Amino acid sequence: MDKKNLKGWLYLIPAFLFLGVFMIYPLIDVFIYSFEEGYNSASQNFYGVGLYNYSYVLHDPYFLQALKNTFILVIITVPVSTGLALLIAVGLSSIKPLRELFQTIYFLPYVTNTLAVGLVFMILFKKTAYSDGLINLLINLFGGSSVDFIDGPYWAKMLVLCLYTIWVVMPFKILILTSALASVNPIYYNAAKVDGTSAFRIFRRITLPMISPMIFYLVITGFIGAFKAYSDAVALFGTNLNTAEMNTIVGYVYDMLYGDSGGYPSFASAAAIILFVIVLTITCINLLVSKKHVHY
Amino acid sequence: MDYLQISKAANIRKKITSGIIYALLAIWAVIVLFPFYWMLLTSVKSYGSYNAEHIPSFFTLSPTLQNYVDAFTTVSLGKYLTNTLIFTLITTAIMMVVIVLAAFAFARLDFKGKNIVFTLFLSLMMIPNELVVITNFVTVTNLDMRNSFLGLILPSVTSVFYIYLLKENFAQIPDDLYYAAKVDGTSDYRYLRRVMIPICKPTLITIVILKVIECWNSYVWPRLITDDPDYYLVSNGIQEIRENGFGRENIPAMMAAVVVISLPLIVLFLIFRRKVMEGVTRGGTKG
């Protein structure tokens, strides 16, 4: 019996070792960091324990800017991308020829490097001395005037960030919704057809309830993903996000940790925990709302 | 109105609807593909002709490969690619060993405390990476492993989620097979290698592909842990190229680098299309 026990643990040792050092210990440590006041990473000591780090972070204009950016990003991209993905998935499942081709194309952004393709978006939107960029020319074509989307006004930069984020997250959502639609039992559709139900009514009364768990899953993962937005912003605006007014909460955490403004693991920890609390709260609210609207 | 007329009208309506659907799907396909087209196009325009275009043209009559040469000679793109390849291969290889052993223990072996430990494992799935990255950064810095492959690789070699995915798959293998192997005197380790791994090969391949994609595109951790360009991975490499790369704003050469970086994964995806999409449906994130 003892040998048997030992064997089980033996197989788990590598996983435990890595998880212990790089996940469980850091998890405890991050809370400790966040309460240590005036921690100095060079001398590795601190002079007090308390809530100062949290109060500093919550009063830091850069953090408030990041908070605002992240919330705008979440509020715009999650509904838009989920709705658009639903539209496209419904379209995809109603056609036969070319379906595989479309599915393959739609999935491409998932496997591309966010940083690399972000540069393409940047040159499409950027206004330079040579050229206004393709998007601005399109705007001019329709009678608008050029805007610098990369170094220009706040709303323009936010718009590009939202567009790029949506472009990046769509593949996953389309894929999940298409497979959810394919798994709806055709019996329901046939029954509705016999009754002469209109297409819109079928969608509202059969399709939507049947795939609501998946939509809900996408909304939750979408919220969590959007709250952790960071590399999309770096791809578009470079690493100095604070100057660009485009920082996100995660970006703030990393800036506090490392780089020109770095060296403050305590502030970074406090900000990371605030982010975690926000995400947890939103997820709980989502769960409560879903109880009313999701049919399992 | 007779029957023929009604069915004709219905037919026309059907055609119009499917026409609209195809048009909408085509528009989205263009939106998805356009950035790829644009980077390919820009990467074959010469520096001079790119900057001479006030209105960017949608095609070029004199494509050049000079930008690709520049991307490999003026900046160390080759170095970034090799680094990423080494990082991806080693991380994925170590992770597969770790998760296969752990999943095997959870799925097949009996030992005290297994259920409690497994529940603990599952709860770890909820921990966001952002929370643990701070301490890991300090740990790796203190261990003097910054700017080394060890520092890059070690924190990424376990995944609770993949252990869970694999354990579920292992658990589907009938117990009878195990008992039969036991009667024949097969050791547990041999059983794992000769029976379980071959049976679960599809899942293992899926996990490998997902991990490779994740490694190839990883940005945050490599950025924190490396500031010596000799250890940059492609994500940081492209950022470096952008900020102080070609000396002047050489967008075509930058796009050539972007193409080179994006190509391996796109090829991998096109080869394993079904596997990748099925894998992401079952266990993907990013969205």
Span A20-43, pLDDT tens digits: 999 999 999 999 988 988 776 666
Instruction: Look at domain B77-283 and name its CATH class.
Output: mainly alpha
Residue contact B131–A27, C-beta within 8 A:
yes
Is A55 domain-assigned?
no
CATH number at residue A269: 1.10.3720.10
Residues A66 and A23 in one domain: no
SS3 B2: coil
Closest-approach residue (CA) in chain B for A179: B281
In terms of C-beta density within 10 A (0-12 exposed, 13-18 middle, 19 or more buried), how is residue A46 classed? middle
CA distance A34 to chain B (A): 11
Residues A44 and A169 in one domain: no
Residues A66 and A37 in one domain: no
Is A57 domain-assigned?
no
Residues A92 and A182 in one domain: yes
Residues A46 and A107 in one domain: no
Residues A34 and A129 in one domain: no
Domain ranges for chain B, please list them.
3-66, 77-283
CB < 8 Å from A in window 268-287 of B: 268-270, 273, 276-277, 280-281, 284-287
d(CA B233, CA B149): 10
CA angle at B263 for the pair A227 and B57, rounded to the nearest 5°:
90
Residue contact A88–B28, C-beta within 8 A:
yes
Is A224 domain-assigned?
yes
Average pLDDT of chain A is 89
d(CA A161, CA A177): 24
Comparing CB atoms, the residue among A27, A92, A137 nearest residue B127 is A27
Give the tokens for residue B269. Answer: 């995806």
A157 touching B, CB under 8 A? no
Residues A31 and A90 in one domain: no
Domain that holds residue A7: 1-50
What residues are paired with A36 via a beta bridge? A49
B53 touching A, CB under 8 A? yes
The pLDDT score that the predictor gives to residue B1 is: 62
Radius of gyration of chain B (CA): 26
The pLDDT score that the predictor gives to residue B28 is: 96
Give per-residue pLDDT as tens, A202-243: 888 888 989 998 999 899 989 999 999 999 999 999 888 888
Is A183 domain-assigned?
yes
The pLDDT score that the predictor gives to residue B59 is: 80
Residues A79 and A41 in one domain: no
d(CA A169, CA A232): 11
The pLDDT score that the predictor gives to residue B151 is: 93
Residues A111 and A187 in one domain: yes
Q: Which chain B positions have a beta carbon within 8 Å of A224's beta carbon?
A: 128
What residues are paired with A45 via a beta bridge? A40
Q: What percent of chain A has pLDDT over 70?
A: 97
Residues A167 and A218 in one domain: yes
* Most A-contacting residue of B40, B41, B134 (CB-CB within 10 A), to test interface: B134
Instruction: Report how many domains make up chain A.
Output: 2
Residues A71 and A17 in one domain: no
The pLDDT score that the predictor gives to residue A194 is: 87
Is A114 domain-assigned?
yes
The pLDDT score that the predictor gives to residue B287 is: 37
Give the tokens for residue A29. Answer: 């440590």
Mean pLDDT of A276-282: 92
d(CA A258, CA A53): 17
What residues are paired with A37 via a beta bridge? A48
CB A40 within 8 A of CB B146: no
Where is average pLDDT lowest: A114-118, A253-257, A292-296, B217-221? A292-296
- Low-confidence stretches of chain B (pLDDT beneath 70): 1, 245-248, 283-287
Q: Tell me how crowded residue A187 is: count the other CB atoms within 10 A of its CB.
A: 8
The pLDDT score that the predictor gives to residue A155 is: 94
Give the tokens for residue B179. Answer: 């008992």
